[in-house]
Amino acid sequence: MNITKEQIDDLNAVVKVAITKEDYQDKVESILNDYRKQANIPGFRKGHVPMGMIKKQYGKAVLVDEVNKLLQDNLNKYLTEEKLDVLGNPLPKQQDNFDWDNDQLDFEFELGLAPSFEVPLKTKKALTQYKIVADDKMINEQVERIQKQYGKLVSQNEIAKDYEVIGTFKNEEEEIENKTTLELDKVKSKTALKALIGKKIGDEVVLATKGLFKEDYLLSSVLGVSQEKAKDLDIEVAFTIEEINEREAAALDQELFDKLFGKDAIKSEEELKARIKEDSEKQFEQQSDQKLLNDVTEYFIENIKFDLPSEFLTKWIKTTGEQPLSDDQASEEYEKSEKGLRYQLIEGKIIKDNDIQIQFDELKEFAKGFIKTQMAQFGQLDPQEEELDNIAARVLGNQDEVKRLSEQLMSQKLLTLYKEKVNLKTKEVTYENFVKEVYG
């Protein structure tokens, strides 16, 4: 077997593979002999079928199969040994006059090669790294929510501002009948609030669904219908009042502090606010980190210039999918995927240049940290190390989970590198202003 490469340009090459009978004949003969031993053909004893008949029936199929195996194994070996950085997969060139009976079988494969480029991490432009702070307004609102959540309900005779009303929504035509709790502080419609204020148990109020709540998703739950049905729903519903309650705010005392954070962890309102600020800003850090990662990614894609073997990749996309694509469809798919491919190459270059690796032990520790965070959400604040090890072992036994966690850990490592190397400017903002500035 002989394999040679013809370089077309920096991004395209053709690999030629010449296979002779000596490369495959022994293997083909061995397989056909096995077929002969097992063949059951009327008129012949088992194992005594003439080899000519076996070759006529099976010879071409076995030859094609063995040659294809040789091609695949040796072509992959050649690409690895020659350290060719190939995009997509080698594409066989069409040969109109190919003859499987020739003594030498010649194959040609088109290659799309990865471009050569550099990634200077010290960006010319200073990118913004947001530091999101919890301001007094946010902290006070959170304290109020805690007081309301842990407060007690006091029965009332008449609806007043910010009360909670238990009742049943009905609309026969839309087959709606759902008992629920209506929290007046979440109602947006002034008309609805005016209709509800002053009503008593047993009264019925007709409310319009359009624009009823401050948050659109609430309509689905109070009516007991799907989000899809609730979207753009513009009808009137009857609401029958069954119970009226005022939620009396919980006192900011030691009993509440212990309930929230454990015994004596917090001992005053000032400490509570400080804890809320600390916990909030830890959560905000995740959002600002994701924003930074996105911004650095976008900057590299826009500013690191290199060509791609676009014609080859379009052809590869056209022929390798589950369904063959037209030229126009393949071009459209390439345009959609080009940006992602560019960043894959850039990210791969950064990882290689900076020798970023993921070891199993650190992946295990990363998984344990992830598990510990999830357990804390369900009140398990101090799990045993043995329990974490056992859960991590089960998680890492799933290849999909290993892939997902590895990608997350790699993103974390890249983010750490960017914070060290990229030209950054820090901007301190409240969460409200961060949302306005980033999401509009």
pLDDT tens digits, 256-267? 999 888 889 999
Coil, strand or helix at 10? coil
How many domains, in total, are found in the chain?
Answer: 3
Confidence (pLDDT) at 221: 93
| Same domain? 163 vs 277 | no
Helix spans in 304-326 (H): 310-320
pLDDT bracket for residue 255 (50, 70, 90): very high
**What are the Cα distances from residue 192, in Å, to 177, 207, 425?**
19, 6, 48
| Same domain? 99 vs 174 | no
Q: Could you tell me the CATH number of the domain that includes residue 11? A: 3.30.70.1050
Q: For residue 237, is it within any domain?
A: yes
Confidence (pLDDT) at 109: 95
Residue 313 has pLDDT above 70, yes or no: yes
| Same domain? 242 vs 300 | no
Q: For residue 134, is it within any domain?
A: no
Of 59, 88, 113, which closes a domain? Answer: 113
Question: How far apart, in whole angstroms, are the C-alpha atoms of residue 154 and residue 164?
Answer: 10
Confidence (pLDDT) at 36: 85
Of 200, 215, 248, which closes a domain? Answer: 248
Q: Could you tell me the CATH number of the domain that includes residue 425? A: 1.10.3120
Residue 323 has pLDDT above 90, yes or no: no
pLDDT bracket for residue 317 (50, 70, 90): very high
Of 89, 113, 137, which closes a domain? Answer: 113
| Same domain? 273 vs 421 | yes
pLDDT bracket for residue 47 (50, 70, 90): confident
Residue 31 has pLDDT above 70, yes or no: yes
Q: Could you tell me the CATH number of the domain that includes residue 166? A: 3.10.50.30
- Give the mean model confidence (pLDDT) for residues 194-218: 95
For the whole model, what pTM was predicted? Answer: 0.74
Q: For residue 197, is it within any domain?
A: yes
Q: For residue 139, is it within any domain?
A: no
| Same domain? 160 vs 284 | no
Q: For residue 108, is it within any domain?
A: yes
Min mean pLDDT across 254-258, 265-269, 374-378, 424-428 is at: 374-378
| Same domain? 56 vs 97 | yes
Range of the domain at 327: 269-439
Q: Which DSSP symbol is given to 186?
A: G
Q: For residue 123, is it within any domain?
A: no
| Same domain? 290 vs 239 | no
Confidence (pLDDT) at 94: 85
| Same domain? 384 vs 426 | yes
Q: For residue 147, is it within any domain?
A: no
Q: What is the pLDDT of residues 218-243, one digit of tens each?
A: 999 999 999 999 988 999 999 999 99
Confidence (pLDDT) at 44: 80
Residue 381 has pLDDT above 70, yes or no: no
Residue 40 has pLDDT above 80, yes or no: no
Half-sphere exposure of 53 (CA within 13 A, CB side): 13
Confidence (pLDDT) at 345: 96
Chain mean pLDDT for the chain = 92
Task: Give the other-Cβ count within 10 Å of 352's Cβ.
Answer: 10
State what percent of residues in the chain have pLDDT above 90.
Answer: 78
Burial class from Cβ neighbours inside 10 Å (0-12, 13-18, 19+) for residue 154 reads: exposed
| Same domain? 421 vs 282 | yes
| Same domain? 10 vs 54 | yes
| Same domain? 175 vs 228 | yes
Residue 96 has pLDDT above 90, yes or no: no
Residue 107 has pLDDT above 90, yes or no: yes
Coil, strand or helix at 352? helix
Residue 177 has pLDDT above 70, yes or no: yes
| Same domain? 91 vs 185 | no
Q: For residue 394, is it within any domain?
A: yes
